[in-house]
Structure 1
Amino acid sequence: MNKSVSLCMIVKNEEKNLPRCLESVKDIVDEMIIVDTGSEDQTIEIAKAFGAKVYNFKWENDFGTARNESIKYANSDWILLMDADDEFPKEDKEKFRYLVNKGDEEIYFFETHSYVGRRPGPNITVNLNVRLIKNNAGYFFESPIHEQLKNNKYPKNNIPGTIENIKIYHHGYLKHNIEKKKKRERNKMILKELIKKEPDNMFHLFNLGNEFFAENNYIEALEYYNKAYSKFDATKVYSPKLIIRMVLCCYFLDLNDEGFELAKKILRNHYPELTDLEYLKGIIFHKQKRYTLAIDCFNKCIEMREAPPHLKFILGVENYRTYNTLSEIYIELKDYDRAYKNCIKTLIFRPDFMAPIYNLVKILKSKGMAIEDIVKTVEPYFSNLNEQYIMIGKVFYKERFYKVALEYINKYDRNKIEGWLLKANCLLRLGQYEKCLEFIDGRFVNSIDLFRIKILALILLRKKKEVYDYINDLNNSSHIEDFFDALKVYRQFANIIFEEPIEVISEEINNRKYTRIVFEILEVLLENEAFDLFESALQILNLIGDIGVLLELGKLYHKYGYYELANKEIIRSIKEFEVFDSEGLEILRSR
């Protein structure tokens, strides 16, 4: 007789995620228990449409309590724990059915593969989480956040469990989900309250560090990680992740020596099988352009293979991530044959990884391959051309094959801003200014990207009246805050071109926000060989106080092949402002 499974979930305002989750499990569970903590959207209606039993529960800032509320209604032999932003993969369903009927443990851990970034893809982190629990065996959850499974049969919390090779895909860390739910502020509030009560709880400190890490606040993240590390215990489940995140913070904060030494120490003394740390050593060396040492680390990653399930965190460090980074190193070394080989290896292990596709086009372009042959080489790596025209367009756009990019974008028939913006940019870069204006007119509303494209096209066409009318319209718009910085720069750019009085934009010597906008303008002018406008536009550099502008100008010249001008501006930057970086010095060394 087959054993039964109850899906138990807690939800709130999950109308976007819940259908995907319930659709993915409807054929492997016998009942769905949904505890709703105050949804104001269509969550409850969606749950009921899938046949779920829905129970209302007042939210008390306590995930453990809410989770216990959900499992108390379960009537099956097993309890499957999931969140609304989880997804059960089709390929693991048979393994799950077998486990439910044959498994003789009370607790099973599955691998949670969390997508990171803007969309599901190869950027994935891995954690082990309790997912399957024997019902009516005395298990309950404790802690307001990052709730832990408890059982009074095991007073020291040494709950036995088995790691099963079953995945759950988690969409909750994708950018749009985090922004929508404002979960970071909620989580930080709960964790800070917990730390007040339990200041020596290293797990709480680690989790609070994670919240700051997710916001790219690496200084505060590292502060809490260091507190958690002060009582380091290598046997704790979270400890490998603590070390990995500490090394990553050091990497992002340019504390490269500290990060390297920590990774080296932990590999030697505690986790010799943790491939992730060898990979992080490699990317530190790569960042420092110590290429031989970096290559040694990445080759060792391949030899080490995947870390054991209880250790691994960054998916792919034993294969596709490492091969991709090796490809990038060899591109920098201009060893395009080795770059190509590693690029292909990357795609063998992860065909949906876009980074090696970008590298592939760069490599083939650098090897002098004709664009027609590059297209023939790249297209087979896209499994569904009709669905992926926008992605192929982006690949060729990045390498400045604008005509080819435009051909693909024109085949993209979806009414989405992503495709519109790419097409408008292609038209602008190809010098088709009238077509660009005609295409974007009325298509985008209150888009900063539209503003930059349109205003540049108008200026390049010398349409003075339309330029100032457009600037004034935006200046009087209710969305002025979205455009404020760009408006300041583009107004002065227009004033220079049309010989109107100019004003200082900013006198702050370390303010980079205006610099980025200025160099967007300069790059379009230089690429379009609008040299008269470019020479005039250089006056904008005198209207911003950023002392890094000469260095950036040198890099821009170098990118477009004006090597003598590049060297001249970088040397000026060093002499006049003592401003330089590794990229600038590399340009000087290569002359």
Structure 2
Amino acid sequence: MKLSLCMIVKNEEASLPKCLESVQNVVDEIVVLDTGSNDTTPEIAQHFGAKVHYFQWCNDFSAARNEALKYVTGDWILVLDADESLTPEIASQLREVINIDDYLLINLVRQEIGATQSPYSLVSRLFRNHPDISFNNSYHALVDDSIAAILTREADWQVGYLPKVAILHSGYQKAVINQQNKYAKAADAMEKFLAVNPDDAYVYSKLGALYVQMGQINQGIELLTKGLNQTLGKREKTKKEPLASLNNSRSINAKNPLVQDIKSTNFDILYELNYHLGIAHTQLKNLSLAISYYQAAVKLPIYPLLKLGGYNNLGNLLKAMGDLQGAKNAYETALKIDDNFVTGYYNLGMVCKAMGLFVEAIDAYSHAIFLNPDYAEAYQNLGVVFLKVGDVDNSLAAFECAIALHEKDNSPEAQRLLQGLQEMRLI
């Protein structure tokens, strides 16, 4: 099977080399559609062997992506943006799964670099070169609707996902978003789409979440609530099984254990709606209501890695409400899902410290530091716990690391910590 990379780009000379380097020896063809670059983006793409085509930007991502699809000759299509790259570990799996006859679409796990709340998402980026697959939505181009339409006619196809992280994405870091004015552009496009597609739960979820991020909390809650009621209402009308009984919505494929099948797609949207309602009500200090939304979110039968943000935020709220054991349980559940979740270890350390479980707190902070050696707050709190158990030498060593790290980007905190140690006559 031949695998083609398909991209749309504009002025991506800074990020494109890393993206294309990650697919070398993985894809058989690179198709790049340039939508108006005035830098060296086309030349960089050609340097990596890409077939470069040109398209006048019309403020419609789907139109551009569908134009790019016209030039693809491979049996399977991998879609990446310039600010994304493939993980080295996923290459052999991609080559293996595209040789399975059953699949029309294989979703990939994407990790948001630098994200602490919800670092993973499932994206529909690897699919068969089927004549009826196309992108829609001008603001957030997806093939999901066309896939669903094909499945109603060609019922033998399956949809699955690879459980391991496949794509690393750097474009949603705060500095990048602010620089490129991504929020405002996305909101404008989604508002226009919603005006003519008032029954689209996906856009309610995305636009509602965006309003919350932009500080328009009540407006965001209104849209998220509409999307939630609409999605639940559709399930009621179609008389589907109760949510709790659909734990088989994802199952391992017997022919190839690398792939897990997806039996239902409503749950991901339901999770997002509940999750962002939890964020919104947290900002409004409606903590009990926020907890209820997070609890509803984490109960849904979706890929567990996607629930990290839900469990982490639930733990934070339970801790704030005084339910320390509940918070500890939430953090520990998150760490069972992903034992590399740095924020989870730090938060577990904080709640263990509050519970007087100092040995567990030391272990949690130490795990966080092992995963992120520049974690100043983890060193600082580790120093506090060592001091509580009477281990002054290790306490001072941890505090010294915290001070050195704080001095790089938080000098007032470094000075405050240093002064505190001096007042306690520890230095």
Q: TM-score, normalised by structure 1?
A: 0.57
Report the residue type matching 2:137 in the other structure: S
Structure 2 CA distance for partners of 1:182 and 1:342, relative to 1, 3 Å: same
Contact 1:111 1:128 in 2 (8 A): yes
User: How far, CA to CA, are the matches of 2:420 and 2:326 in structure 1?
Assistant: 40
Q: How does 1:182-197 map to 2 (within 5 A)?
A: 182-197=181-196
State the Cα distance separating 1:330 from its structure 2 match.
2.8
The residue aligned with 2:119 is: 125
Report the residue type matching 2:180 in the other structure: K
The residue aligned with 2:269 is: 238
State the Cα distance separating 1:216 from its structure 2 match.
4.9
Structure 2 CA distance for partners of 1:42 and 1:253, relative to 1, 3 Å: farther
The residue aligned with 1:396 is: 403
CA-atom RMSD in angstroms: 3.6
Select the structure that is richer in strand. 2
Which residue of 243, 256, 270 maps to 2:287? 256
The residue aligned with 1:363 is: 385
User: How far, CA to CA, are the matches of 1:290 and 1:157 in structure 2?
Assistant: 50
The residue aligned with 1:174 is: 173
State the secondary structure of the residue aligned to 1:139: coil
Which residue of 44, 51, 65 maps to 2:49? 51
State the Cα distance separating 1:373 from its structure 2 match.
7.3
State the Cα distance separating 1:257 from its structure 2 match.
1.1
The residue aligned with 2:347 is: 325
State the Cα distance separating 1:99 from its structure 2 match.
2.2
Q: How does 1:81-480 map to 2 (within 5 A)?
A: 81-102=79-100, 104-117=102-115, 125-149=119-143, 150=146, 153-154=150-151, 160-166=158-164, 167-233=166-232, 236=266, 237-265=268-296, 277-299=310-332, 305-306=336-337, 316=338, 320-333=342-355, 335-346=357-368, 350=371, 354=375, 356-370=378-392, 374-375=396-397, 395-397=402-404, 419=408, 425=411, 429=415
The residue aligned with 2:258 is: none
State the Cα distance separating 1:261 from its structure 2 match.
2.5
State the Cα distance separating 1:69 from its structure 2 match.
0.8
Contact 1:301 1:318 in 2 (8 A): no
Report the residue type matching 2:273 in the other structure: L
User: How far, CA to CA, are the matches of 1:84 and 1:287 in structure 2?
Assistant: 40
User: How far, CA to CA, are the matches of 1:300 and 1:211 in structure 2?
Assistant: 28
Structure 2 CA distance for partners of 1:332 and 1:143, relative to 1, 3 Å: same
State the secondary structure of the residue aligned to 2:103: coil
State the Cα distance separating 1:200 from its structure 2 match.
2.7
State the Cα distance separating 1:341 from its structure 2 match.
2.5
The residue aligned with 2:236 is: none
State the Cα distance separating 1:268 from its structure 2 match.
6.2
State the Cα distance separating 1:89 from its structure 2 match.
0.7
Contact 2:315 2:330 in 1 (8 A): yes
User: How far, CA to CA, are the matches of 2:295 and 2:396 in structure 1?
Assistant: 41
State the Cα distance separating 1:108 from its structure 2 match.
1.0
Listed one character per residue, the Cα deviations across residues 207-253 of structure 1 (whole Å, up to 9, x for unaligned) are 11222234354443323212212213365232212111211222232
Listed one character per residue, the Cα deviations across residues 470-515 of structure 1 (whole Å, up to 9, x for unaligned) are xxxxxxxxxxxxxxxxxxxxxxxxxxxxxxxxxxxxxxxxxxxxxx
Listed one character per residue, the Cα deviations across residues 402-444 of structure 1 (whole Å, up to 9, x for unaligned) are xxx6xxxxxxxxxxxxx5x67xx48x94xxxxxxxxxxxxxxx
Listed one character per residue, the Cα deviations across residues 379-400 of structure 1 (whole Å, up to 9, x for unaligned) are xxxxxxxxxxxxx96x22478x
Listed one character per residue, the Cα deviations across residues 506-545 of structure 1 (whole Å, up to 9, x for unaligned) are xxxxxxxxxxxxxxxxx79x9599xxxxxxxxxxxxxxxx
State the Cα distance separating 1:262 from its structure 2 match.
2.8
Which residue of 54, 64, 68 maps to 1:70? 68
Percent of residue pairs identical = 23
User: How far, CA to CA, are the matches of 2:302 and 2:330 in structure 1?
Assistant: 16
Structure 2 CA distance for partners of 1:278 and 1:134, relative to 1, 3 Å: closer
- Residue ranges of structure 2 left out of the alignment (5+ in a row): 233-242, 244-264
Farther off after superposition, 49-58 or 276-285? 276-285
Listed one character per residue, the Cα deviations across residues 176-222 of structure 1 (whole Å, up to 9, x for unaligned) are 22122212111111111111112232221211122223435444332
Report the residue type matching 1:125 in the other structure: P
Structure 2 CA distance for partners of 1:210 and 1:115, relative to 1, 3 Å: farther
Listed one character per residue, the Cα deviations across residues 101-146 of structure 1 (whole Å, up to 9, x for unaligned) are 45642221111112245xxxx6652211112222244311122122
User: How far, CA to CA, are the matches of 1:353 and 1:238 in structure 2?
Assistant: 35
The residue aligned with 1:16 is: 14
Question: Is the radius of gyration larger for structure 1 or structure 2?
Answer: 1
Q: How does 1:510-521 map to 2 (within 5 A)?
A: none
State the Cα distance separating 1:276 from its structure 2 match.
5.4
Q: How does 1:499-518 map to 2 (within 5 A)?
A: none
The residue aligned with 2:24 is: 26
Structure 2 CA distance for partners of 1:351 and 1:48, relative to 1, 3 Å: same
Tell me which of the two structures has the higher relative contact order, counting C-alpha pairs closer than 8 angstroms and 6 or more residues apart: 2
Structure 2 CA distance for partners of 1:241 and 1:317, relative to 1, 3 Å: farther
Farther off after superposition, 329-338 or 48-57? 329-338
Structure 2 CA distance for partners of 1:199 and 1:282, relative to 1, 3 Å: same
Contact 2:111 2:167 in 1 (8 A): yes
Contact 1:8 1:79 in 2 (8 A): yes
The residue aligned with 2:256 is: none
Contact 2:271 2:297 in 1 (8 A): no
Contact 1:361 1:396 in 2 (8 A): no
Structure 2 CA distance for partners of 1:30 and 1:318, relative to 1, 3 Å: closer
Structure 2 CA distance for partners of 1:328 and 1:277, relative to 1, 3 Å: same
Count of aligned residue pairs for this structure pair: 383
Contact 1:324 1:343 in 2 (8 A): yes
State the secondary structure of the residue aligned to 2:176: helix
Contact 2:105 2:124 in 1 (8 A): yes
State the Cα distance separating 1:147 from its structure 2 match.
2.3
State the Cα distance separating 1:368 from its structure 2 match.
4.9
Report the residue type matching 1:259 in the other structure: A
Report the residue type matching 2:30 in the other structure: M
State the secondary structure of the residue aligned to 1:13: coil
Contact 2:10 2:34 in 1 (8 A): yes
The residue aligned with 1:587 is: none
Structure 2 CA distance for partners of 1:213 and 1:170, relative to 1, 3 Å: farther
Q: TM-score, normalised by structure 2?
A: 0.77
User: How far, CA to CA, are the matches of 1:362 and 1:42 in structure 2?
Assistant: 52
State the secondary structure of the residue aligned to 1:163: strand
Farther off after superposition, 204-213 or 278-287? 278-287
Report the residue type matching 1:153 in the other structure: I
State the Cα distance separating 1:352 from its structure 2 match.
5.8
